[in-house]
A and B are shown apart, each in its own frame.
Chain A
């Protein structure tokens, strides 16, 4: 008989190994899925994981990994702070949108000025946009005890309506022949978040993501606030005795994650995307939740997880094009990653025992 036995202590080894095991399991089951679809499984897995990094055109894909991974890491770092303390911001997608709208709007208000102050101002406005959007669930939670999961999630849909509205009205390109969407910031130097070194994919959003990783690491390991976050998540009662102010913690965690998501939106709209449009958001805010957990809510883990997620997206598109795999199969493949992660996570706290339970 096979059963699960609770470990007296969570296993550190399994905690570290789980992401790797999950990736390997995803490769195996994903390969079976691709084979069932009549596609060469090894070739497909190789295309997804190998092609972007070391394939013939990796000189193009490697920079794209940074472009795709940076917003994921930036958002996930913010989310991980709250998640560690049991504060669940599920609405990063909305904060990402609002950051982009505020940031782009702040810049476009000065069009066509070429002042060097415009981009820094946009960065501030972007962070503010995300922060203020996250403050809504934060204040509702601290004042009225509402559930931040529901409020932050619902606000995503409100933000999407805002996005459609400004694309068609306030921020619509006056030279766009009546079509929705703002001016393209890529063609306006003062507002363009261009590559810092041509051909590297390195833009300010990538820099911000790396800085966020370092700050989060220091915060969690060396700073009182970080200690409070960890304590609240691991032992809420002890945290209360230690004098943690839950209201401040909620405001800090939601505010920080909102601001970082807003920054991600701003760097995206002023850089790779270039313009506010009705379909500007592509789900980074939701995918970042997966990235945060895949990275074990640890800053360095999130950095790696963001890279891995970006890899499956880019490799997935290559596999679609070269092997004509359906998009749905790639999405199932990505979903498996989280599924296996959660499944194998069980082994951190439980062990598999074979035989009859011992009688105490």
Chain B
């Protein structure tokens, strides 16, 4: 308790002392789990940070620390940013959840935004993207394009976010190609080029001619290119250096509009704790250009799915859908609720294999 008071009073004192100087500069901190040059997850968050700088110019000062381990190190980095006068701090990895809540308690006047988590407070918001909408587009393309009817999927960790993506891709591949089969390899990493390349090679050897990945490196793209007749999709970032083939499209995380909006809210004093889960419609999930390697009719079908999700006329999880064990989940025309989606821990009917425990 003593430390808490000490920290709070220090923050207040700092705020008073520097009040005049800071009145027209909003300081925004970013905590990154990887290096800004990872070409995927952290890279896109840093693009968002740069967009904030570009948008507000002199009125904003951004700072970031990269490669921050989840746990006490993250807590220290956040505390340090808050002590140094940050008004708003984005913590961009699921593992930062408890540290963010801990630090937010000590600095009630600093706003925190935690990506992909579920714990909120008066000064902690959460935000995430509906990547599964992008997976529906990918599944549609994959189902049309596969000739072996085997689609390989590189999973990172068996968490709801990833399982949701697998289910969405499978449902939409199956819709256009009833014979389609998914082979899933768990890499147990978000970013490890060597492991990801191995996973891609294993899948290709098993006959997969489409590879979907939920890991961030371009290694699977390179493996597909080496193998020849295999297509892939960019993950987190466009990965357009592998276009038009193997990379035929991509899911792009676009945090810029959200970061700009939240920074503006802090400036205007209208910031409130909220849970944001945006998709294609709000621009948080971007679909990278579908390359010429995809026939025009397939491209049109994929874009139709994209547009229908963007305008809200179609939901990727619309019944009838059964769970893997055959039990009913969604009735005809029923749409999945966000609560179930957020904690999704089951495969839909037709996917083979078990979710690792």
Binding site for B on A (CB under 8 A): 57, 59-61, 63-64, 67-68, 161, 164-165, 168-169, 177-181, 184, 186, 198-199, 268, 272-275, 277-280, 282-283, 313-314, 317-318, 320-322, 324, 326-328
Question: Quick check: B157 and A318 within 8 Å, CB to CB?
Answer: no
Interchain CA distance A45-B75 in the complex, whole Å: 23
Instruction: Add 7 more A-B contacts to A186-B98, A186-B102, A327-B35 (CB < 8 A).
Output: A57-B80, A61-B80, A64-B76, A178-B159, A180-B159, A317-B65, A317-B73
Q: Is the CB of A273 within 8 A of B94?
A: no
Looking at the assembled complex, report how far the CB atom of A187 sits from the nearest CB atom of chain B, in whole angstroms: 9
- Asked if B160 and A177 make an inter-chain contact with CB atoms under 8 angstroms apart, the answer reads yes
A58 nearest CB across to chain B (Å): 11
Is B265 engaged at the interface, CB distance under 8 Å to the other chain? Answer: no
Q: How long is the Cα–Cα vector from A8 to B1 in the complex, in angstroms?
A: 59
A182 to B114, CA, bound (A): 19
Interfacial chain B residues near A322, Cβ < 8 Å: 63, 84
Residue from A165, A179, A186, A322 having most chain B Cβ neighbours under 10 A: A179
Segment at the A interface, from B168-176, B222-230, B315-323, B340-348: B340-348
B118 contacts A277, C-beta separation under 8 Å: no
Q: How far is the CB of A82 from chain B (nearest CB, A)?
A: 26
Interface readout for B58-94 with A: 1 if CB under 8 Å, 0 if not? 0000011111111111011101110110000000001
Counting CB contacts under 8 A, is B244 at the interface?
no
> Are A327 and B160 in contact, CB atoms less than 8 angstroms apart?
no
How distant is B302 from chain A, measured CB to nearest CB, in Å?
29
Q: Is the CB of B77 within 8 A of A321?
A: yes
**Number of residues from B at the complex interface, CB < 8 A:** 44
Contact in complex: A317, B76 (CB < 8 Å): yes
Q: What chain A residues lie within 8 Å of B327 (beta carbons)?
A: none
Of chain A, the residue at the smallest CB distance from B356 is A168
Shortest CB–CB separation between residue A192 and chain B, in angstroms? 13
Closest B residue to A314 by beta carbon equals: B76
Which B residues are CB-close (under 8 A) to A273?
71-72
Contact of A277 among B7, B79, B95 (CB under 8 A): B95
Give bound CA distance, A111 to B79, whole Å. 30
Taking the closest CB of chain A, its distance from the CB of B14, in whole angstroms, is: 8
With the chains together, A321 CA to B66 CA distance in Å? 9
B10 on the interface (CB 8 Å rule)?
A: yes
- Given known contacts A169-B357, A277-B95, A317 and B80 CB-to-CB distance under 8 angstroms: yes
The answer to whether B157 touches A57 (Cβ under 8 A) is no
Q: A198 touches which one: B3, B84, B98, B357 (CB < 8 A)? A: B3
Counting chain A CB atoms within 10 Å of each CB, which of B66, B71, B94, B188 scores highest? B71
Tell me if B84 and A168 are in contact (CB < 8 A).
Answer: no
Indicate whether A279 sits within 8 Å of B70 (C-beta atoms), given known contacts A179-B160, A180-B159, A317-B65.
yes
Known: A317-B73, A321-B63. A199 touches B159 (CB 8 A): no
By the criterion CB–CB under 8 Å, are B3 and A199 in contact? yes
In the bound complex, what is the Cα–Cα distance between A283 and B77 (angstroms)?
Answer: 17
Closest residue of chain B to A322 (Cβ to Cβ) is B84
- Given A282-B71, A317-B76, residue A179 in contact with residue B159 (CB < 8 A): yes
Asked, given contacts A321-B29, A326-B66, A328-B35, whether A274 binds B98 with beta carbons under 8 Å apart, the answer is: yes
Query: Which of A178, A184, A282 has the largest count of B CB atoms less than 10 A from its CB?
Result: A178
**In the complex, A67→B3 CA distance in Å?**
15
Q: Are A59 and B357 interface neighbours, CB within 8 A? A: no
CA distance A346 to B33 in the complex (A): 38
Leading 4 A-B pairs by shortest Cβ distance: A272-B72, A199-B3, A169-B357, A282-B69
- Min C-beta distance of B102 to chain A, whole Å: 8
Name the interface residues of B1-17: CB closer than 8 Å to any CB of A: 1-3, 6-7, 10
Cα distance, A283 to B35, chains bound together (Å): 17
Residue of B nearest to A281 (CB): B69
B158 proximal to A (CB < 8 A)? yes
Residues facing A in B315-357 (CB within 8 A) are 342-345, 356-357
B152-193 interface code vs A (CB 8 A; 1 in, 0 out): 000001111000000000000000000000000000100000
A–B pairs, 10, beta carbons within 8 Å: A60-B7, A179-B118, A179-B160, A180-B157, A181-B95, A320-B64, A322-B84, A324-B64, A327-B65, A328-B35
With the chains together, A348 CA to B98 CA distance in Å?
A: 48
Inside 8 A of B6's CB, which chain A residues have their CB?
59, 199
- A46 CA to B65 CA in the complex, in Å? 18
Quick check: A198 and B159 within 8 Å, CB to CB? Answer: no
CA distance A195 to B73 in the complex (A): 17
- The answer to whether residues A168 and B357 also contact, given A275-B98, A282-B69 and a CB cut-off of 8 A, is yes
Contact in complex: B118, A177 (CB < 8 Å): yes
Residues of A within 8 A of B36 (CB): 326
Most B-side CB within 10 Å, residue of A324, A326, A327:
A327
How many angstroms between the C-alpha atoms of A186 and B98 in the bound complex?
A: 10
- Assuming A277-B95, A326-B66, is B80 touching A321 (CB within 8 A)? yes
Which B residues are CB-close (under 8 A) to A280?
71
A63 to B356 Cα, complex, angstroms? 40
Residues in A with CB closer than 8 Å to B67 are 327
A178-B345, A179-B159, A318-B80 known; A57 vs B10 contact (CB < 8 Å): yes
Q: Assess whether B79 is in contact with A321, with CB atoms less than 8 Å apart.
A: no
Of A168, A198, A317, which contacts B1 at CB under 8 A? A198
